[in-house]
Structures are given as structure tokens and as C-alpha cells.
Chains A and B, each alone.
Chain A
Amino acid sequence: MKYKKLNSVILAMALGLAVTGCGNTASEQAQQETQQESQQETEQESSQETYKELAAGDTAPDFTAQLADGSSITLSEQTDKVVLLNFWATWCGPCVGEMPAFEKLAEEYKDEVVVLAVNCLEDEETVNQFIEENGYTFSIAYDVDGSINAKYPTSGIPYTLVIGKDGVVKKIYLGAQDAETQYNEYKNALEEVLGE
């Protein structure tokens, strides 16, 4: 009996926290929806398709991503550059661990390669804070509603693709070791695809 009060306090706290957690995503989603209304016509067409996990040789599904620096990028417009496309999240240790490799590659191949890391469904504030803290300058994109992620289904992240100038997927990586190993791995792949 004497624990009844404690019980109610914890219950109230639990509900408060859980609802705040849900509320966050709901309001962010609403925000996102209004932001995306302008793009909706093109988005809707593609969102009706179902996407299969990609293999080397497939055409990379097109998307337009909102970058954290305020600009946007469309995959199909990168006809003169090879794209190193990565999917990541702040809660994913291996993703965060390999990020220095992307920073280095983006700097080294400034004129030939677009390095683009698309976040997996986290809110913009989380992504911004992450970038600020780590000081990354390469292209990092939001995907709050998961529409880009939906086009690139994968059983896990980090998930990284090398996409040729012709828009065809050349190489696919699932998982990552340390930044140095990944740097060498991606560098070799980029050299190979650039040399084609």
C-alpha cells in the first residue's frame, strides 16, 4: 500500500517520457511534410514502387536530398562525378567510426567524386549537433521521413555504395572496420571506377 504513491509518480514519469518521445517524432514529421510539399508530386510517383535490395550493376534509384548545409543534391544530376553514397546514424558505432575516411576522401577527390552520407531517419537537430561536434565538411543529408532510405533497402548500416557517372551501382559495402581500413577500401574502389 505504501508504494501506491511511488507507483503513481513513476507511472506519470514514464508516460511523460514516452509521450514526449513519440511527440517529438510526430511534430518533426509534420514539419517535414510541410517542407516536402513542394517536392511531393515527383516523390509520390516513386513512393508507390517497392524497392529491392540493390546489387552491383543495378541502376541507382534517383533522389533529391536536403543537405545539412542548406543546399540540396539530386543524384541524377551528378553525371560528371562518381558518387560515394553512405547511409549512417549517430547511434551506429561503426558508421561514426568510418566518417573520417569520408572527410579525407571528399577533400582528396573534390573534383571527381561526390561523397554523400545520408542519415537514417534521425531528426535534423541530432544530425546538426553531430556535424558541429565533429566538424565534418563533406555532404551530409537528412532523411527524416526515410524516403531515401526506402529506396536503398539494407539489412544494416553502415551501408555504402559506389555509383558510377552512368548512374549504375558499381560496388556495395555493408558494415565497416576502422576509418583507415575503410579509407583504403573506398580509395581503391574509387580509383577503379574513375579509371573505367
Chain B
Amino acid sequence: MKKRRKLIQVICALLYNCNFTGFAQGNIYQGEVKGVCVPGLNCYSCPGAIASCPIGSLQSALVSSKYKFPYYVLGILLLFGVVLGRVICGFLCPFGLVQEILYKIPTPKMKKNQWTRRLSYLKYVILAVFVIGIPVLWAAPGFCKYICPAGTLEGGIFLVAMDERLKAMTGNLYLWKIFLLVVVVIGAIFIFRSFCRFICPLGAFYSFFHKVAMVGMKVDEEKCNHCNACVRQCKMDVKQVGDRECIQCGECMEHCRQCALTFGKK
């Protein structure tokens, strides 16, 4: 399961960003596929990106929502949510993969506790304020503009480094975004998937579907003896397998002596 998941994550990251010539030329692919959203957090402005980021598209659509109802992006987000839910976080998100790789750096790690659990609510605030509130009220893509470290990493650094005109436009906002990226990178080294747990509005959105998603972790109540090994071993802020904080990665299966956990169609 672990290896298969890693393989799927890597394939996804490459597939989302397979416009390899973009990296050499420092420009953005703008073909027809760009009108489609990928399920994971992957910046539209990554030179390799062949499709769009759902959370970025949602903000753009909300900015002009008074002229046009955002049918497509709401539909596709609901579809991703109801079919896969946070399976997307565990399997199909390149920025999740990046954080998991950073966590492999051998350092003392900070375990989950009541504070990380409380902090996990922050992502819902970010979803409400930066992804919905600011775009609708002030016509700016709040999350992309002020927060998203995936955008800074994939798009911001590359494009600015390769385009003099963009370099000339950078100022305090750019410095702020670089600072945030550094914080998120350092955070991910010491705290497992800290961006996903505390900040990611896309994960927050998909978490609403934890009860209805068609695919994910299942607990066989007849086999389960409620030893709680699954929850104790899990590095996310879960209270039970498959709740809103669960990214459906399936690592708990290795720790279940009762073999009560399975991954598949719910």
C-alpha cells in the first residue's frame, strides 16, 4: 500500500506538470487542457502545469461570479469530493508529496497534540475568508495572492527568476510569499504535512465529504476491538479512521492487528 501510494503520488505530480519544455522556456502552457481542473493543489502558473488548480479556479470564478455563475468549478469540486474526498489529499496531491518528502529529513519530529488538533480548524477559516470571502467581496484571489506556498514554489520562483519584467514587478508581497513558503517548508520538515493539516483550503473542502465519499478507508466493526492503535499511529489529527482529518492514506492498516481496516469502495 505504502509503495503503491508513493508511486501514484509521483505519477500524479509528473502528469499534472508534464509540460516539461515550460521549465526550460520559463513560460506557462495555455492550451485547451488548461480549462480542466486537476483534483490536487497544483498551481496553474507552474511552467509544467497542463491543467488548472481547482482552488485557484474557484477564486477566479468567484471574482467574476457576478457576471457568470461558476458552474464548472463548483461541479468539478463537488464531483471530486463525492467520489474521492480526501483520498485526493493522500494520493493525488503533489504538494502533499512534497511535504512527505520533506518530512523524511531525519530531525526530531513534533507529534500531534491538542494544539495541532485545534490548529486544524484554521484551514476552514482560510477557506471561508481567503478562498470565498475576499474573492467575492474584494475581487481578489485572496488565497493565491496572499498565502498559497504551492504557487510560490511552482510558479512564483521559476517565472520570476526567468522573466526580467516579472522581476521588476516584485515587491513586499513577493517577499511575504517567499517568507511563507520558507515557513511552510521548515514546518513540513518537523511537523508531518503541516500545510495540509492547518492551512490547505482544498483539503478543508474535501473534508466535508468524509461521510459521503465513494472511496476511502473502511472499518469492519465486527473485527475491531477498539484498541485505537490506528488513531495513535496516525500522524494526522484524526479522532477516528476516516473522519474529516483522515487523508485516507491507509498507513493505519499496517498497525491494525485485527485486520479490521480496508481501503476501497465504501
Partners in one complex: yes
Selected contact of A21 from candidates B64, B72, B82, CB within 8 Å: B72
Interface residue B226 (Cβ < 8 Å from any Cβ of A): no
Say whether B139 contacts A15, CB under 8 Å: no
B3 CB to nearest chain A CB (Å): 30
Say whether A14 contacts B82, CB under 8 Å: yes
Interface residue B2 (Cβ < 8 Å from any Cβ of A): no
Interface residue B180 (Cβ < 8 Å from any Cβ of A): no
Produce 1/0 per residue, B69-86, CB < 8 A to A: 011111111110111000
Produce 1/0 per residue, A6-29, CB < 8 A to B: 110011011111111110110000
Produce 1/0 per residue, B24-55, CB < 8 A to A: 00011010000100000000010000000000
Interface residue B175 (Cβ < 8 Å from any Cβ of A): no
Q: Could you say which interface size class chain A belongs to?
A: 35 or more
Interface residue B60 (Cβ < 8 Å from any Cβ of A): yes
Interface residue B220 (Cβ < 8 Å from any Cβ of A): no
Which residues of A have CB within 8 Å of B118? none
Interface residue B214 (Cβ < 8 Å from any Cβ of A): yes
Say whether A15 contacts B79, CB under 8 Å: yes
Interface residue B163 (Cβ < 8 Å from any Cβ of A): yes
Considering the complex, give the chain B residue whose CB is closest to the CB of A146.
B30
Interface residue A93 (Cβ < 8 Å from any Cβ of B): yes
Say whether A90 contacts B64, CB under 8 Å: yes
Interface residue B68 (Cβ < 8 Å from any Cβ of A): yes
Interface residue A57 (Cβ < 8 Å from any Cβ of B): no
User: Given A21-B71, A21-B72, A155-B163, are A93 and B78 also a contact pair (CB < 8 Å)?
Assistant: no
Q: Which of A90-106 contact B (CB under 8 A)?
A: 90-93, 96
Which residues of B have CB within 8 Å of A53? 27
Considering the complex, give the chain A residue whose CB is closest to the CB of B36.
A22
Interface residue A126 (Cβ < 8 Å from any Cβ of B): yes
Interface residue B4 (Cβ < 8 Å from any Cβ of A): no
Interface residue A129 (Cβ < 8 Å from any Cβ of B): yes
Which residues of A have CB within 8 Å of B68? 90, 122-123, 125-126
Which residues of A have CB within 8 Å of B166? 155, 174
Say whether A155 contacts B78, CB under 8 Å: no
- Give bound CA distance, A159 to B86, whole Å: 38
Say whether B75 contacts A21, CB under 8 Å: yes
Which residues of A have CB within 8 Å of B204? none
Q: List chain A positions with a Cβ less than 8 A from chain B.
A: 3, 6-7, 10-11, 13-22, 24-25, 53, 89-93, 96, 122-123, 125-126, 129-130, 133, 153, 155-156, 174-175
21 contacts between A and B (CB under 8 A): A3-B211, A3-B212, A6-B211, A10-B209, A10-B212, A11-B83, A14-B78, A14-B81, A18-B75, A18-B78, A18-B79, A22-B72, A53-B27, A89-B64, A91-B60, A93-B63, A125-B68, A126-B67, A126-B68, A129-B67, A155-B163
- Which 8 A-B residue pairings sit nearest by Cβ, starting from the closest? A21-B72, A17-B75, A18-B75, A14-B78, A21-B71, A14-B79, A90-B64, A91-B64
